[in-house]
A and B are shown apart, each in its own frame.
Chain A
Amino acid sequence: SYVLTQPPSVSVAPGQAARITCGGDNIGSKSVHWYQQRPGQAPVLVVYDDGARPSGIPERFSGSNSGNTATLTINRVEAGDEADYFCQVGDYSTEQVFGGGTKLTVL
């Protein structure tokens, strides 16, 4: 089955940009979605279809996808962005697959 690989952790100082990667074989040919999960809460969709933002998600959140790597970028990181982030791919007939998750720490 398809495997998505994320770094276990990313650390960033407030005000800086955080980049969280999601690796997969030719992932650039797929639509990638990203979720934020704060402790004790359900995941929340923050980016869909590689780089689109749902209503209510700040413009600081953006995404890109090419080759074997998709990237979630959070600009001007705030303390409230500290959370786990998961990437996901899937389509009609295939399994929906999640990455292993990345813990974002705001220093």
Chain B
Amino acid sequence: QVTLKESGPVLVKPTQTLTLTCTFSGFSLSSGMRVSWIRQPPGKALEWLARIDWDDDKFYSTSLKTRLTISKDTSKNQVVLSMTNMDPVDTATFYCARTSNFHYYFDVWGRGTLVTVSS
């Protein structure tokens, strides 16, 4: 069974850096596999943030790329996202999701973690 689970702080202060970890099981980040981070402010649309591929290629949202860093630890089956200079407008549920077999749709999602930015 393929699962992904997001973990990290539930509350961060403005200007701080958010670090989230996606721990997955049931697959390895091997050939053709990719993991993305996606966020959703309360009551709003989904927004893709970043992606890391099995070969360590990395892609970022154009509007947020200066604030984002994505990395992977294949031995731990984890993907980590860092987002700098957090602001209250960044309050959102953050999801990690898998794409497989060289495709670009998200076939399995984590349950998401709500991160609130407030002083």
Contact = CB atoms under 8 A, between A and B. Distances in A.
Interface of A: 1, 31, 33, 35, 41-45, 48-49, 54, 86, 88, 90-93, 95-101
A54 B99 CA distance: 13
Interface of B: 36, 38, 45-48, 51, 59, 61-63, 95, 103-107, 109-112
Contact of A42 (B47, B51, B103, B112): B112
A95 B61 contact: yes
Nearest to B53: A92
A100 B95 contact: no
A48 B48 CA distance: 17
A100 B104 contact: no
Interface of chain B, main secondary structure: loop
Contacts, number: 57
A82 to B, nearest CB: 16
Contacts of B38: 98
A45 B46 contact: no
Contacts of B107: 45, 48, 54
A90 B48 contact: yes
A45 B105 contact: yes
A35 B106 contact: yes
Given A42-B95, A44-B109, A97 B104 contact: no
Nearest to A33: B105
Contact of A88 (B51, B59, B63, B105): B105
Contacts of A44: 109
A48 B105 CA distance: 7
Contacts of B110: 42
19 contacts: A31-B104, A31-B105, A33-B105, A42-B95, A42-B109, A42-B110, A42-B111, A48-B103, A54-B107, A88-B46, A88-B106, A90-B48, A95-B61, A96-B51, A98-B45, A98-B47, A100-B45, A101-B45, A101-B46
